[in-house]
Amino acid sequence: MTKFSSTNNKNTSSQLNLLKQRSLMKSTLPIIILIIAVLGSYFIYHSGKSNLLLSTKVSEKKNLNDVTKSKNQKKIRIVNTQLITVETHTPTWQATGVVKPAQTLNLKAEVSGVINKVNPDAIPGALIHQGETLLTLNSENFQYALINKKSALIQAQSTLSIEKGNQVLALEAFAFMPDDMQTEQEKSLVLREPQIASAIAKVMSNQASVDKAKADLAKTEITMPFTGKIQKRNISLGASINANSSLYQILNIEQFWLEVKIPRQFFTILDKKQPVLLTHQQNRNIKHTRLGNILTSLTSLDSRDRQVQLLVSIDDPLLLKKRALIKATLGTETQATSNNSPNLIFINDFLFLSLHGKPLENTVQIKPHWLIANDYIWVVDQKNTLQQRKVEVVFQGKKYLFVRGNFFEGDHALIDKLSIAVSGMKVKKRSLKSLSLKDKDNV
């Protein structure tokens, strides 16, 4: 009994020890795993840092070798250039102007009277040809005045005829007078020369009165002094007007004018004989052109910018003459010359103008920033080296210069602005296109 109890105690003790060992392992296992994880992270971090440092050193060594290698090689810069072409240029200057009338007239009455007839077509905007009647005045009083003047003239002519008859009779009596009484003074009195002179003067005076009465009668019919358009009408039927009363405001449409401003420098090379190209821009895509002529230059400069003012004329701005010619030839009008034609030019139209200068022989057209110290430009010669060429500025415009210089075949103007440029420096040129036709000769 005792032996069996002792054996049971041993088994129970061993089981307790086993349970304690298992419990200890369960409590210490997370700590061991944590320690292993920390040690593994530490090892991985320091291992990666070492590899990165090694890679950086290799890269730096490689870059250093590349820099050293590039320094050992000679560097050639690529520059933009443009072929230099020496030719005859005709500079053009672009300007703008507003159309204004060449002639306007405030038509006034020359005699007084009552208006008894008005041309119904003579309204603002209407085209009236030269000689057409605008209005007429009551002419009865003027007709009566003319009759009276003619009567006075007839009476004066009769008096003159009577005096001439008396002179014939006096001349016969004078022939029987003694010689000592035939002095020049006595002869003049006997022959009634003073009376005849007075009669002639009265005839002339009455003739002038008749002519004036005829002129006044003619002035009762007021006609268009030139072909033009009515701008304003100030009268109405039945109105009583006086001399100098304003009747119509009339615009001459045979020619319009433009005042244009240009710099004095371009004025020195302006070719006044060349026609002026006028452009009227209907919209962004449609433009219409006409030609004008330089009439003269005004005597005063513009007070604001001191530019020269030119007077440009536009003949037949409403295409009336061209319309009549086409109609006479074809028997009908065309869209280009009709009243709705976009080619018509009106007062206050805003036009673009292109004026031509005189030809500049043996010149090169360049841009201002190509010029160095007003005397030189950089060029790339046939050997692809930078060289300086001395130039003379013939004309300087808004966007371009025209210069003369000692250029050689194959010279290309340097377009780029280099921070460092030395004569003889080797470069590689990249040639750009020459100026377009739009920019050629445009200053």
- Integer distance in angstroms from the first to the last C-alpha of the chain? 135
Tokens of 394: 């013939």
Q: Angle at Cα 379 formed by Cα 375 and Cα 381, nearest 5°? A: 135
Task: Report how far residue 115's alpha carbon sits from residue 221's, in angstroms, rounded to the nearest whole number.
Answer: 10
pLDDT for 53 beyond 70 = no
Tokens of 159: 């008096």
φ, ψ of residue 54 to 5 degrees: the values are: -65, -40
DSSP symbol at 41 = H
| % of residues, the chain, pLDDT over 70 | 75
Residue 69, pLDDT score: 47
Average pLDDT, integer, range 60-88: 69
Is residue 326 very low, low, confident or very high in pLDDT (cuts 50, 70, 90)? confident
Strands 308-315 and 287-297: antiparallel
Cα dihedral sign for 405, 411, 415, 417?
A: negative
Task: Report how far residue 419's alpha carbon sits from residue 79's, in angstroms, rounded to the nearest whole number.
Answer: 12
Q: Quick one: which of 371, 416, 412, 369 has its CA closest to 392?
A: 371
pTM of the model as a whole: 0.65
Least confident stretch, 43-52, 230-239, 268-277: 43-52
pLDDT for 65 beyond 90 = no
Looking at residue 235, its amino acid is: I
pLDDT for 51 beyond 80 = no
Between 172 and 93, name the one with better pLDDT. Answer: 93
186-195 per-position pLDDT tens digit: 666 666 778 8
Q: Which CATH number fits domain 93-100+254-356: 2.40.30.170, 2.40.40.20, 3.10.450.50, 1.10.357.10?
A: 2.40.30.170
Residue 54, pLDDT score: 43
φ, ψ of residue 345 to 5 degrees: the values are: -115, 130
Is residue 208 very low, low, confident or very high in pLDDT (cuts 50, 70, 90)? very high
Between 188 and 209, name the one with better pLDDT. Answer: 209
- What are the Cα distances from residue 365, in Å, to 267, 281, 357, 358? 19, 28, 14, 15
Cα dihedral sign for 181, 183, 186, 192?
A: positive
Residue with tokens 């043996």: 362
Contact 99, 348 (CB under 8 A): yes
DSSP symbol at 74 = P
- What are the Cα distances from residue 314, in Å, to 65, 273, 336, 355, 402? 76, 15, 17, 14, 31
- Helix or strand (DSSP H, E) at 43: helix 2-72
Residue 420, pLDDT score: 85
Task: Report how far residue 433's alpha carbon sits from residue 167's, in angstroms, rounded to the nearest whole number.
Answer: 102
Mean pLDDT estimate for the chain: 82
Task: Report how far residue 112's alpha carbon sits from residue 216's, in angstroms, rounded to the nearest whole number.
Answer: 10
| Cα 174 from chain centre | 86
pLDDT for 206 beyond 90 = yes
Tokens of 412: 């290309």
Contact 238, 108 (CB under 8 A): no
pLDDT for 67 beyond 50 = no
Contacts of 143 (CB under 8 A, 6+ apart): 217
Q: From edge to edge, which strands make up the β-sheet containing 221-223?
A: 221-223, 133-137, 113-118, 240-241
Task: Report how far residue 161's alpha carbon sits from residue 410's, in angstroms, rounded to the nearest whole number.
Answer: 101
Q: Which CATH class is domain 78-89+360-432?
A: mainly beta
User: DSSP letters of 231-273?
Assistant: EEE---TT-EE-TT-EEEEEEE-SEEEEEEEE-HHHHTTB-TT
